[in-house]
């Protein structure tokens, strides 16, 4: 049976990991398993930016290849970036095997606001679904309530759903069937 894997990079709270595991199973229909945590991504640290290169972390994630792996999602507390943007909530290989989500800017505390666990966990789910959606070939959606809509500010994360819209659901199902014919995945929306 094919599995979607998640891997903590550095310390990640157990509640976050469990929440993301359940959400990914519900949206994508694959069994979700957890890999042994990877160390802090010191190799990806950019001292000038005081952030971590998501591209370098993705390179490490693509090397993870359990035999039954469908996709892998790295989850980190590190604040990540791509060169053309000051930050990203996550980064994925379009139609590739790996994605990453950063928890740093999903926390209310980052914005000097009181912590809110429920809001934080909802943001984690939305970004995990969004990034894994990219690995299955989904692009940014113009429906702002869709999990696949572009979120380059936290209020945009908050305004979207954790589910993909009906149009993205159709594309997702078609893409999964093309990639994994006969996978038996039934939970795809």
What pLDDT, on the 0 to 100 scale, is given for residue 180? 80
Q: What is the pLDDT of residues 34-68, one digit of tens each?
A: 999 999 999 999 999 999 999 999 999 999 989 99
Contact 110, 89 (CB under 8 A): no
Active-site residues, by number, are: 131
Phi, psi of 17, deg, nearest 5: -60, -45
Q: What is the pLDDT of residues 172-186, one digit of tens each?
A: 999 999 988 865 555
pLDDT above 90 for 154: yes
pLDDT above 60 for 187: no
- What are the CA-CA distances from residue 28 to residues 13, 23, 25, 159 (Å)? 23, 8, 5, 21
Q: What is the pLDDT of residues 6-33, one digit of tens each?
A: 999 999 999 999 999 999 999 999 999 9
Alpha carbons 183 and 2: distance in angstroms, whole number: 7
Q: What is the pLDDT of residues 102-140, one digit of tens each?
A: 999 999 999 999 999 999 999 999 999 999 999 999 999
Question: Domains of the chain: which residue ranges?
Answer: 3-138
Alpha carbons 187 and 118: distance in angstroms, whole number: 24
pLDDT above 70 for 163: yes
What pLDDT, on the 0 to 100 scale, is given for residue 65? 85
What does CATH list as the number for 3-138? Answer: 3.40.390.10
What pLDDT, on the 0 to 100 scale, is given for residue 33? 97
């Amino acid at each position: 049976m094919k599995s979607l894997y998640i891997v903590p990079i550095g310390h990640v709270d157990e509640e976050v990991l469990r929440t993301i595991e359940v959400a990914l199973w519900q949206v994508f229909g694959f069994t979700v398993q957890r890999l042994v945590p990877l160390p802090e991504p010191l190799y990806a640290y950019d001292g000038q930016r005081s952030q971590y290169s998501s591209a370098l972390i993705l390179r490490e994630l693509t090397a993870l290849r359990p035999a039954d792996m469908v996709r892998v999602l790295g989850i980190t507390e590190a604040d990540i970036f791509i060169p053309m943007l000051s930050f990203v909530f996550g980064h994925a290989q379009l139609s590739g095997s790996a994605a990453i989500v950063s928890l740093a800017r999903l926390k209310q505390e980052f914005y000097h606001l009181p912590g809110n666990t429920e809001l934080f966990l909802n943001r984690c789910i939305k970004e995990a679904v969004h990034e894994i959606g990219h690995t299955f070939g989904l692009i940014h959606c113009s429906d702002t309530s869709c999990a696949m809509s572009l979120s380059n500010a936290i209020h945009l994360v908050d305004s979207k759903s954790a589910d993909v819209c009906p149009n993205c659901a159709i594309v997702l199902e078609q893409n999964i069937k093309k990639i994994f014919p006969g996978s038996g995945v039934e939970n795809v929306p």
